[in-house]
Amino acid sequence: MMNKQKIESKYWNPYLETLDYEKIKRLQLRKFKDILKYAFDNSLLYREIYEEAGLKPEDIQSFEDIQKVPIIDKKYLINIWMIEVFMEMV
């Protein structure tokens, strides 16, 4: 049986938690773009919302570009659902 040594560190993930500011910002932007692209490629609803706003995932190249992404909250989704239900009744 091996002796377990307790490794103490103030960091859960030393690599990520000690990155300099610029590297953190680049990582955040890359992850945001990955999520946006995934939603665009895998959800018809999100694709339609983004296309209606004139947005493609490759349009996001900086943090300033994130302002182009429409805010999609619960109220917005409920309104879309209500419009679709109404259109089916007509």
Dist. CA 10–CA 22, nearest whole Å: 22
- The tens digit of pLDDT for each residue in 30-86 reads 999 999 999 999 999 999 999 999 999 999 999 999 999 999 999 988 988 888 787
- Written as six digits, the tokens of 62 are 């900086």
Q: What is the pLDDT of residue 37?
A: 98
User: Which structure tokens are listed for 60?
Assistant: 């996001």
Mean pLDDT confidence for 14-36:
94
pTM comes to 0.74
The DSSP code for 10 is: S
The predicted pLDDT at position 44 comes to: 93
How many C-beta atoms surround the C-beta of residue 59 within 10 A? 14
Quickly state the pLDDT bin for 5 (edges 50, 70, 90).
Answer: low
Cα atoms in the 13 Å half-sphere on the side-chain side of 60: 22
Which residue's structure tokens are 């004139």? 54
Report the pLDDT value the prediction gives residue 6, as an integer from 0 to 100: 59
